[in-house]
Amino acid sequence: MPLLEVNNLEVCFGLRQGSVTALRDISFQLERGERLGIVGESGAGKSVLGFSIINLISRPGFINKGEVLFEGKNLAALKNKEMRTIRGNRIAMIFQDPMMTLNPVLTIGDQMVECLRAHRKISKQDARVISLQKLKQVYIPSPDTRLDQYPHELSGGMRQRIVIAIGLLLDPDLIIADEPTTALDVTIQAEIMELMVELCERNNVALILITHDLGVVSEVTQRTIVMYAGRVIEEGPTKEIINDAQHPYTQGLINALPQMALPGQRLNQIRGTMPGLNDLPSGCAFSPRCDYVLPACHEAIPALTKSGGCNVACHLVTEQNNLSEVNE
Ligand code: SF4
Ligand code: MG
């Protein structure tokens, strides 16, 4: 059984003007210890997906269809109390801003001890010992001193390390990290991502990394899902997606990576912007920005279809595959 299985998930937001569908027909699986990247521009639905997995979509958002099976148990149907236990113990969430996790008026040690004792029957002393171990795991310099410091006394990079240590406190099976390094400078970003990979590998923790940065995904994950306007448009092994992207949107994201530009050359940004979810064009949502539009693209939403080692939702790709089949 996979660790996580998302089936036909649909999330809507009930607004005064009517209901808007933020996620449509999302399905994927995640094995134990596997690292999955979810990429796309802002507004693609990545964070909504992260929050839906842990059943933290707040009103007016709601899960309209589908299921989120964690070890076979449907999280989308759990009561709040059961869900809180799973969120604390089995699934940890790491956000872009460490201050969303850290309490500014408690010392690092007190927060860690409190978090442990909320989920386990252990003494304060034992909780402090575990907290110290976890701080050592994330390579915080002088960890004993840090236990008695407040979040504001630490640098941004150090705070994010502490958030990771807190995430690991209860030995979760899955970490969902939403743009965990976006607020940090580039060298620290790389260090933190390296640390996350090391910790996930060592503890056999699965990771869902949500980011707009395909470069980070290529270094960290084994599998990638590319999202556009609330749908999965390409999905497959990260190596294949980076080296041989098939969907024109994914190709656009790759061409826009700074490392793809020659020195002095301007970055190749994809023209236009993602349409609003209540204002999607008919057919393929990417069609207004796509250089390869076919008549079919305006008529029908392309279905996610197997192509090579990936799944791709694009009429052009489907047509090319059909042609090559005929020629074989
Ligand atoms: Fe472009 Fe058509 Fe493919 Fe959409 S379905 S990405 S418009 S070729
Ligand atoms: Mg986001």
Longest dimension (CA), the chain: 71
Q: Which ligand is nearest to the CA of 296?
A: 1
Q: Find the 42 Cα to ligand 2 centroid distance in Å.
A: 6
Find out whether the beta carbon of 248 lies less than 6 Å from any atom of ligand 1.
Answer: yes
Condensed to tens digits (0 to 9), the pLDDT of residues 34-46 reads 999 999 998 999 9
Cα separation of 187 and 132, whole Å? 25
Find out whether the beta carbon of 245 lies less than 6 Å from any atom of ligand 1.
Answer: no
Which residues 6+ apart lie within 8 Å of 161 measured at CB? 138, 139, 140, 192, 195
8 Å CB contact between 39 and 212: yes
What local confidence, expressed as pLDDT, does residue 204 receive? 95
Q: Find the 292 Cα to ligand 1 centroid distance in Å.
A: 6
Between 259 and 147, the more confident residue is: 147
What local confidence, expressed as pLDDT, does residue 175 receive? 96
CA quadruple 72, 78, 80, 83: dihedral, nearest 10:
0
CA quadruple 220, 218, 55, 109: dihedral, nearest 10:
30
- Closest C-alpha residue for ligand 1 atom 7: 287
Q: Find the 289 Cα to ligand 1 centroid distance in Å.
A: 9
Helix, coil or strand: residue 233: strand
233, 249, 297: residue to mutate for ligand 1 pocket, most atoms within 8 A of CB: 297
226, 271, 282, 294: residue to mutate for ligand 1 pocket, most atoms within 8 A of CB: 294
Q: Nearest Cα to 199, choosing from 263, 135, 279?
A: 135
Condensed to tens digits (0 to 9), the pLDDT of residues 64-91 reads 999 999 999 999 888 888 898 898 789 9
Condensed to tens digits (0 to 9), the pLDDT of residues 238-279 reads 999 999 999 999 999 999 888 776 677 777 789 999 999 888
- Report angle CA 239, 307, 251 to the nearest 5 degrees: 55
Q: Find the 98 Cα to ligand 2 centroid distance in Å.
A: 15
Helix, coil or strand: residue 260: helix
Condensed to tens digits (0 to 9), the pLDDT of residues 178-209 reads 999 888 888 888 999 999 999 999 999 999 99
Find out whether the beta carbon of 226 lies less than 6 Å from any atom of ligand 1.
Answer: no
Percent of the chain with pLDDT over 70: 98
**DSSP 8-state assignment for residue 100:** G
Find out whether the beta carbon of 296 lies less than 6 Å from any atom of ligand 1.
Answer: no
Provide ipTM, 2 decimals.
0.97
Q: Find the 264 Cα to ligand 1 centroid distance in Å.
A: 31
What local confidence, expressed as pLDDT, does residue 162 receive? 95
- Closest C-alpha residue for ligand 1 atom 5: 314
* Exposure class string for 275-288: b at 16+ Cβ within 10 A, else e: bebeebeebbbbbe
Percent of the chain with pLDDT over 90: 78
